[in-house]
Structure 1
Amino acid sequence: MSTLHRRTASNAGLALSLLVGLSALSSVAAPELYLPFPGGRTYTVTQYPHALSNPYLGYAIDIGMSTNDPIWAAAGGTVQVADYDGNPSPAINGRQVIINHGNNFCTQYNHLNTVSVRRGQIVERGQYLGGAGMTGSATGVHLHFNTIHCSDFTTRGALSTFEYRNGFFVGQRITSKNYQGLPYGLKGAIGERWQDDGGEVYYGKPTTAERCGLVLNGCYQVFEKGFIHWSPTTYAWGTRGAISRKWRAIGSENGQLGYPIGPERCNLVGGGCYQSFQDGFIHWTPAYADAYYTTGAISSKWRALESENGFLGYPKMDEVGGLKDGGVYQQFQGGSMHWSSTTGAHPTRGAIRTAWANLGSENSWLGYPTTDEYKDASGNTVQNFQGGKIYYNSTSGTWTTR
């Protein structure tokens, strides 16, 4: 602060007010700041301090960058200004983000080319805010970064970060450091999904950066408690727990189901959960440690029979192929479902299913079922197969006809 005391008399009042303000806040723990860009990157300080005599610029630091270089939050907090929403001087600041860290302590990020957060959004340290630019009053692409009082946007004291506790000087090459617990940046649709679903409470912190180059030009990011995947046609959806483990075990977006197309939904019968994917569903129930998927004609038939609310209940295994004539089957709590290209998908259950299994199922002379169960004119339960029929009633049990 001695520099301020050496200012002319016309700046004495400003210096005094800054001293008083900083003194009043000296008992309040300031957040520990980190450089506002990804770990390992190096840039040059092009201006610091910015203009000590200016109550709004003061100890700001200008960092030379390239267009759309990622800008990260220096500490966690709540977005107070986003782009032009709440921006006190857009002609000067350009696209701007201000983050409120509590106790009237804010950080300011000016001249951005893009902004990827919204006003009122809670962000974590290291979260992606937008891309560097030269909007507003800027003569080159750079980040104008400083600490300010949230209440009136006036400058705070000399700037320092975790990496540079002794401050900065013009021409200095500065490098951000990776540190234990640093959340990787969040951006775009994946960042929005993380925020909308409950953020750290629901997914935990990010453990990787966003990674792209997936099938259908998709991207994904890994979190402590799950994953979020995005593609241009399916948007961004998270997977967690048993459903996520099953999806990844069968190949994730490269497997039979493709990308998720909706959120995990719970409160099903028996406390179960399910999630929709491009080509099927994954259901989980506390009755089983694993989750199981349904797809294709078997899934369509099961859903037509009211899914887990119907007589079949939940799937108790995944679909199994390689049967006679290219057939497929799947077991459910209340029976089985078999499919072949010539017969379609039909369930079997109870005494008829047992009788058919005892004969050798689809490998027997009966072949595959060609209808669901139905009642005949005599009140018997009947099911048609390729080679005949199986009948059942409570008096006679089961019998077959060719």
Structure 2
Amino acid sequence: MTSPAQPGPAPGPAPTPGPGRRRRRRWLVVGVGAAALAVAASVFAVATLQPPTAALVASDITVLAPTTIQDTVATTGTVASARTYKVYSALAYAVDRVDVSVGQVVEKGDALGRLSTTTLDRQISTKLASIDQSARTSDAAVQAAEDRYNASRTALANGTNSAVAGADSAVASARSAWEKARKAYRDYAGALDDGENPQLLAQRAAVDTAAGAVASAQHAYDKALADLAAGNDELTAAQQAWAAAQAVVDAAGAGVTQAELDTLAAAQTSLDAAQAAVDALADVAARAQLSLTAATTAYDNAEAQYRATRTATDNTLGDYRLAADAARTAYLKALASRDAATASAQTEVRLNLDNLRSSQASASNEVMLEDLANLRK
């Protein structure tokens, strides 16, 4: 916008002259000064030429001082502005009306015109709608974040967090399984140490019984052998008695007596009896030997069965121990999983709290309100 031109001569200070006029005034001032000096010189000359007079009083003396003599030129015509200024608005709005006219004198702070507020009003309405919508959205987001935070914190505090509750249940189950496995191992090991394992007891009894049978068979066999040896001795004596009687009969020849024949017959009877006894004793010894062999075999089998059972029980004890160790490992893993679940739940609570604070911070519409205030200025 071009500033209005100044009107014609008006009361008050005269307009500032142009450069040419200022040089003219400077010459005028110099000329007046020279004239004043000339007058002073003439006065001084007159004063020196005239004869001395009476002394002057202070009222008779005038002190000359340089001054600016102004003159005013009166004329008619159109006055044009010495400078032209363009007035701009910092706001990108259309001009609705101009409140000054060309040639009008304005002062600092006077309104030159008015900008259209149609666009501004529309921007304010849009900003108000945005603030309202943002407030509703932010309130909903804050409420949702607060609900999530309260729910996660309450679930963690009350033990109702699904992950933590599941981990607690797993810990309880794993601990129960470990305690059962450990008790089974200790009971089985205790039974072995105390000799109360039923299977081992039965096998040990079988071994002892077999050992007793071996001892009895051995005793019977030894007795049968002793009896057989005694029978053989009697058989030998009977054989010797028969041989002696036979020799007497043979020596007597035809003159053998009846007594000698009777002695030979008696010797023969004793020999036959002794032989029969030895045969019977030999049969008893043979049967005793068979019984001893059977008893020994039964003992060996019972001992082998006992050793196998002992090995099996040792293996079973090892299995119980492995089961107890595995149950303990599972329990420790369950504890670690519960700790991890608890830490995760705590992290979830912290994250929900951070989200709540972030939502609360995001809900602040100070910037939008400041923009609205700037629009309303």
* TM tier relative to shorter chain: under 0.3
**How high is the TM-score relative to the length of structure 2?**
0.17
TM-score in terms of structure 1 length:
0.16
Greater strand share, structure number: 1
Rg (Cα) greater in structure:
2
